[in-house]
Each structure stands twice: as structure tokens, then as C-alpha cells.
Homo-oligomer: A and B are copies of this chain.
Amino acid sequence: MSPAEPLLILTDDDLLAEHWQALGRSPVRARRLEDLDTWRSAGHRLVLVDLDPRRADAPLWQHAAWQRNATGLAILAASAQPNDDEGLAVLNAGACGYCHTHAPTTTLRRALDVIAGGELWVGRALLSRLLRLVDTRLPRVGLAHWSAPLTEREREVAQLAAVGDSNLAIADALGITERTVKAHLKAVFEKLQVADRLQLALRVHGVR
């Protein structure tokens, strides 16, 4: 095992920076894209960068400082609202990985391990799309669908809950009692290992 390369955290979001400190790897905080120059000339490679700056004029990866450092660094780009097109763009701009800004720490650590090892890291949503684009007659990749362990009825309830319907609204829509909706949701929460309907919504809509 290599002794964990140091990590440059690049964001102007103080809160996010603090959150990312928990990743370990002797993190160093930076705010300006130009800090990539000093990081690279110091012999380091690993960078975690926030793609959503407060004062955004143009995409980060179009800046000169990014362009001249991208190939020499191992950059993991994070977005608050990951989006396939943005992911493609930033990967094409030389990033080694693309993920959610608030991805679980374990996921971020894994992604950093991967790109530190010289590989590329792409989340399953974007990767699935890439595969689908290349092979259009794709019968659906092996990623487990959120509704896999659910029964038919549970799926219906979960679907409605995930778009914000209240228990009563779901009950009316399905012609059952609110109590029954709660029973189904309880089962859904347990099977999908989520705490509440908001986490369910995030799961259903492919966030994290």
C-alpha cells in the first residue's frame, strides 16, 4: 500500500472544504485555480475540485490554469448537481474522475484511491449512459434498480412518495387508506435502507 498521497482541496465553499477535510490524506485547502500550479510544481498530483464556484463566469475546465495542469495532475471533479454532459465535458478536459459534491465519504475515498492509482473514475449513472450510447440495443446494465427488492404495490407507493406526494394523496391515488400507504412505505424504507421519504426520493432519482 502506498502511503496516501496528499490531497489538494479546491473550493471557495468553506462548508464544503470542512466536509472534505474528513477525507484525510493530509488535505490542503485552496481557493484559486492558479493554486494548481504550485501544487504540481511541489510534486503532488491528487486534487479534489468543486465545480460550482460562487462567482461562476465560465466552466472551470475552460480556464487556462486548468488546461495547463490537467494532464499533469489527477483531478477528481465534483458537482453539486452531477449531470452527464458536464461529466463528459470535464473528463474530456482532462479530469480523472467525476462525482457528486456530497457523495458519501467512503465513495469519495474510493474514487480518490482509484485515480491516485492512475485509473479513471466515473459514477455508474454516467458510465451506464456511455455504454448505452455505444451500444444502443442495450438491455440495461447490471446496476441494481432501486425497485428491485420491492413488490408491485410498494413500487407504486414509492414512486409517488418520491415525487413529493403526501401519504393521503398517495392513498387517494391508489384507492386505499392512508394507513396502508404508511405500511407500504415502512417496508420500502426498510428494504431500501433509507430513513425517510426524502432519502427515498434521492435514491429513486439516482442521486448518490
Contacts and interface: CB of A to CB of B under 8 A. Distances in A.
A42 interface: no
Interface residues of A, number: 71
Given A91-B141, A110-B113, A134 B135 contact: no
Contact of A164 (B80, B94, B142, B198): B198
B119 A75 contact: no
A142 B83 contact: no
A134 B142 contact: no
Interface in A112-162: 113-114, 117-124, 127-128, 130-131, 133-135, 138-144, 146, 148, 152, 156, 159-160
Interface of A: 1, 13, 15, 54, 70-72, 75, 80-81, 83, 85-86, 88-89, 91-96, 102, 106-107, 110, 113-114, 117-124, 127-128, 130-131, 133-135, 138-144, 146, 148, 152, 156, 159-160, 163-164, 173-174, 195-199, 201-202, 204-208
